[in-house]
């Protein structure tokens, strides 16, 4: 359940839910999409108007499968299809949702209105209305109640016939919910089978096979077949989990709408650090570290000592760790920095700009020694990049791996206009493969 707690805390912030609900109530589906970080690929609602009337992008974002990287990032490279009720033919207009190509990319989704017959080949997951339509949320509780567990015995007890195939993926899904979804998708699309798979990356050279769920009358079967051409209708185990009910319907009341800036961010707090033979307080205010027990002369002396390989005091070790990889950083500082970056990753440029306005140190680095410029590809760069450059961030700063912001942008297939802007700002695309220990200061970022 740790992954679900991360999703609840970061992936769909309270302010996003509040803005989406307000936009939806006034019938502005486009504003709701913008609040939920969804790029819309069409100009007018047109034939998709009925689907968009109930579309809740925050609800959709809440339910979409997440990577198990501990970041609550969306599973990358996924396609989902949102359909009206009833049979879906080639001319039926549907909504296609695409997740980012990389888990480390911007967490923005893409929404398009297309004819079902024009869906590109490859895996696509048809989502039930209660996962994205605000008018149908009441159906969710009934769908996830009575989970039967995910063991093979549970599948057979639920009436499934299981062929002699690998069944490890079955342990990730609820057989009762799988049966419900199989029958729904089969009836809508006129298919007798859909795939149940975790790997949604299409092979480049040779076809693979995945578990296949088949329905024929009252009979349900788990078998295996190779991928075929055209759209491959799939079910994702993350949407069929027996534990999902506990996460979706917690006992406590939902949080009230919140601010983009977390409570107490500007006021700050104090953390005890062992410094030599004494305990000192380290101040933390708005993403900035303060050392009230030391003067600037002491700070310069300690940094000079470090440059010559000497040992430094606990307060200064905490400061260096805060700006570097976190080695030796007190637990509370690690938690604070992790929380800060997760809020920015999922909130986008709006959250970053709000934090900067509230006093956040623009030179803050993550555990890999990356600055906001290194991770600009994760944000709406058109509005954030000028601010970061104006704040004096080094466009050629190196991370712990020796990557510059331009390297990170190229590796993550950043948009062409972002690459050109970085180039115009003096970015050097060269990638360093040196051992980090051979970098200046042992690979630690320079302190401002």
| DSSP assigned state of 10 | I
* pLDDT over 80 at 299, yes or no: yes
Q: How far is CA 373 from CA 237, 341, 356, in A?
A: 36, 13, 14
What does the block give as tokens for 85? 């009720």
What is the mean pLDDT of the segment spanning 177-203? 86
Q: Which H/E stretch holds residue 82?
A: strand 79-82
What gap in Å lies between CA 4 and CA 247, rounded to an integer?
6
309 Cβ contact list (under 8 Å, min separation 6)? none
What gap in Å lies between CA 329 and CA 172, rounded to an integer?
36
Q: Which H/E stretch holds residue 274?
A: strand 269-275
Other CB atoms within 10 Å distance of the CB of residue 166: 10
What gap in Å lies between CA 421 and CA 179, rounded to an integer?
51
What pLDDT band is residue 267 in, cutting at 50, 70 and 90? confident
What gap in Å lies between CA 217 and CA 289, rounded to an integer?
66
What is the predicted pLDDT for the residue at 238?
87
What is the predicted pLDDT for the residue at 256?
56
User: Who wins on pLDDT, 191 or 268?
Assistant: 191
Longest dimension (CA), the chain: 81
What is the β-pairing status of strands 160-162 and 219-226? parallel
What is the mean pLDDT of the segment spanning 202-223? 77
What gap in Å lies between CA 218 and CA 134, rounded to an integer?
31
Concatenating the DSSP letter of every residue in 176-188 gives HHHHHHHHHHHHH
> pLDDT for 308-338, tens place per residue?
888 887 898 888 888 776 677 888 888 889 9
What does the block give as tokens for 128? 């039930």
What does the block give as tokens for 154? 């549970």
What is the mean pLDDT of the segment spanning 278-307? 88
Three-class SS state of 279: strand
Min mean pLDDT across 204-208, 321-325, 434-438 is at 434-438
Cα 372 from chain centroid (whole Å)? 17
What gap in Å lies between CA 243 and CA 148, rounded to an integer?
10
Write down the pTM of the prediction: 0.85
């Amino acid at each position: 359940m740790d992954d679900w707690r991360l999703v609840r805390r970061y992936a769909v912030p309270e302010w996003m839910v509040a803005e989406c609900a307000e936009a939806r109530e006034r019938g502005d589906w486009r504003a709701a999409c913008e609040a939920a970080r969804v790029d819309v690929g069409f100009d007018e609602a047109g034939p998709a108007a009925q689907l968009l009337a109930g579309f809740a992008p925050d609800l959709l974002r809440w339910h979409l499968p997440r990577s198990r990287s501990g970041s609550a990032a969306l599973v990358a490279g996924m396609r989902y299809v949102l359909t009206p009720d009833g049979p879906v033919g080639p001319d039926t207009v549907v909504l296609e949702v695409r997740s980012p190509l990389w888990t480390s990319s911007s967490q923005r989704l893409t929404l398009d209105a297309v004819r079902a017959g024009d869906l590109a080949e490859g895996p696509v997951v048809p989502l039930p209305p209660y996962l994205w339509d605000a008018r149908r949320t009441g159906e969710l509780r009934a769908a996830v109640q009575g989970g039967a567990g995910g063991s093979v015995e549970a599948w057979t007890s639920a009436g499934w016939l299981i062929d002699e195939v690998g069944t490890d993926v079955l342990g990730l899904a609820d057989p009762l919910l799988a049966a419900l979804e199989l029958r729904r998708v089969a009836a809508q699309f006129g298919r007798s089978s859909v795939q149940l798979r975790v790997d949604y990356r299409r092979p480049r050279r040779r076809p693979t096979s995945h578990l296949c769920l088949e329905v024929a009358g009252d009979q349900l079967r788990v078998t295996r077949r190779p991928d075929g051409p055209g759209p491959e209708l799939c079910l994702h185990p993350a949407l069929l989990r027996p534990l999902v009910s506990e996460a979706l319907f917690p006992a406590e009341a939902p949080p009230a709408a919140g601010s983009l800036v977390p409570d107490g961010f500007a006021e700050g707090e104090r953390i005890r650090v062992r410094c030599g033979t004494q305990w000192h307080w380290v101040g933390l205010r708005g993403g900035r570290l303060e050392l009230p027990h030391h003067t600037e002369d002491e700070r310069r002396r300690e940094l000079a000592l470090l440059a010559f390989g000497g040992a430094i005091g606990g307060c200064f070790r905490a400061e260096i760790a805060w700006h570097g990889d976190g080695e030796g950083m007190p637990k509370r500082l690690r938690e604070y920095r992790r929380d800060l970056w997760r809020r920015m990753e999922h909130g986008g440029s709006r959250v970053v700009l709000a934090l900067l306005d509230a006093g956040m140190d623009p030179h803050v680095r993550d555990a890999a020694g990356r600055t906001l410029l290194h991770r600009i590809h994760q944000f709406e760069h058109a509005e954030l990049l000028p601010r970061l450059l104006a704040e004096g961030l080094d466009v050629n700063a190196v991370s712990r791996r020796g990557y510059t912001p331009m390297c990170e942008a190229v590796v993550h297939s950043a948009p062409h206009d972002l690459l050109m802007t970085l180039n115009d700002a003096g970015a050097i695309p060269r990638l360093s493969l040196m051992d980090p220990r051979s970098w200046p200061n042992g690979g630690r970022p320079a302190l401002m």
